[in-house]
């Protein structure tokens, strides 16, 4: 290659490098001239219920170009001091005032408590709070009451309240940083005054249990009450050879499978009529009244029939009239032999 050609190539390369350097410097200077916005982002992972007592140790300033900053982001550490987190934050997440409870100069239960609600303590144990998972502050729970009575139809469990905010477990308003359960003896919840009356009365008449809800789950239960009688019905429906319907009485023990007739669609249950004592005839005259025992399913009732002036038998409570029984259908009374 000729020396002249090498010189020209070297000059071209030098010009290219110089142009690239000047371009990068120009872009950097223009970038430095653009206005920046300070945004507070988390230095480490933060949990629900953490109180921001020392913001400088938990947050760091990150610069964003004006117009690119997250909406509602906070830039002043004093604005979040002594506030309580409503949601967890990961490293690098920005924070807004909507993510926190409380005023900048205050802290405690009175600022965590929503407007119009009251803080109510509920006495619980390890079993009734799922080993403390239903005690976690700022979680949501359902309150269930169980009442025990002598009769099965009077013993029941019911969902008293749904989607209730937990404020504290004993005297702790913050969750454990490791996410461990918080077994406690008293759980403080936020209730409206009328709901607080329900819980106060329910705690005196039965035992209470807390059911932990999934985060952001606002669904409602389709059935909020179950009696012991209903529980037994549910168990009997899975018994082989026995089909239980709502019309079947459940006070008596369930009959063995061989004693239960198979259910026929759109058919009425069989009724067995067993006369308690046949009408007696004296001198060929029909009796004025007689009694019958009627068995329906597993229940037996007694019906009294009276004769009216037309010779028809009617039930004592004014039921359907029946024609008189033929005389020849009743055996005559035989006089006692001496």
DSSP secondary structure, 101-119, as one string: ES-TT--SHHHHSPTT-EE
Q: What is the pTM of this model?
A: 0.45
Q: What is the pLDDT of residue 19?
A: 82
Mark out the alpha helices in the chain (DSSP H runs). 3-33, 55-58, 109-112, 193-205, 228-236
Residue 265's pLDDT is what?
A: 46
Confidence (pLDDT) at 338: 45
Domain span(s) for CATH 3.90.1210.10 in the chain: 36-107
Tell whether domain 36-107 is in CATH 3.90.1210.10: yes
* Whether 189 contacts 123, CB under 8 Å: no
Closest CA to 155 of 79, 94, 231, 95: 231
State residue 176's pLDDT score. 77
Q: CA geometry: angle at 25 spanning 24 and 31, to 5°? A: 90
SS3 content of the chain, % helix, strand, coil (to 5): 25, 30, 45
Q: Can you list the residues of the chain whose pLDDT is less than 50?
A: 104-106, 236-260, 262, 264-268, 270-278, 281-282, 318-322, 327-330, 337-338
């Amino acid at each position: 290659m000729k020396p002249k050609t090498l010189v020209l190539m070297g000059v071209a390369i030098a010009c290219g490098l110089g142009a690239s350097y000047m371009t990068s410097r120009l872009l950097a200077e223009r970038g430095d001239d653009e206005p920046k916005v300070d945004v507070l982002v988390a230095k480490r992972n933060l949990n629900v219920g953490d109180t921001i007592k020392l913001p400088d140790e938990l947050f760091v300033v990150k610069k964003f170009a004006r117009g690119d900053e997250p909406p509602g982001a906070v830039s002043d550490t004093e604005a979040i001091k002594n506030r309580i987190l409503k949601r967890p934050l990961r490293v690098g997440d920005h924070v807004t005032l909507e993510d926190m409870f409380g005023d900048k100069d205050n802290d405690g239960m009175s600022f965590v408590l929503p407007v119009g609600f009251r803080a109510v303590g509920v006495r619980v144990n390890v079993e009734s709070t799922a080993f403390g998972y239903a005690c976690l502050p700022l979680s949501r729970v359902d309150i269930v009451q169980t009442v025990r009575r002598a009769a099965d139809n009077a013993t029941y469990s019911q969902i008293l309240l749904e989607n209730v905010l937990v404020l504290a477990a004993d005297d702790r308003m913050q969750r454990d940083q490791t996410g461990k359960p918080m077994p406690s003896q008293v759980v403080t919840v936020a209730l409206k005054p009328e709901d607080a009356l329900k819980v106060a009365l329910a705690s005196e008449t039965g035992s209470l249990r807390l059911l932990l809800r999934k985060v952001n789950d606002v669904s409602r239960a389709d059935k909020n009450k179950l009696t012991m009688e209903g529980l037994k019905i549910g168990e009997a429906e899975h018994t082989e050879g026995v089909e239980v319907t709502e019309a079947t009485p459940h006070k008596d023990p369930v009959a063995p499978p061989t004693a239960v007739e198979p259910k026929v669609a759109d058919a009425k249950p069989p009724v067995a009529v067993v006369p308690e004592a046949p009408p007696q005839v004296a001198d060929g005259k029909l009796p004025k009244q007689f009694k019958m025992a009627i068995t329906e399913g597993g229940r037996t009732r007694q019906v009294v029939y009276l004769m009216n002036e037309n010779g028809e038998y009617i039930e004592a409570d004014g039921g359907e009239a029946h024609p008189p029984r033929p005389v020849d259908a009743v055996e005559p009374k035989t006089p006692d032999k001496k």
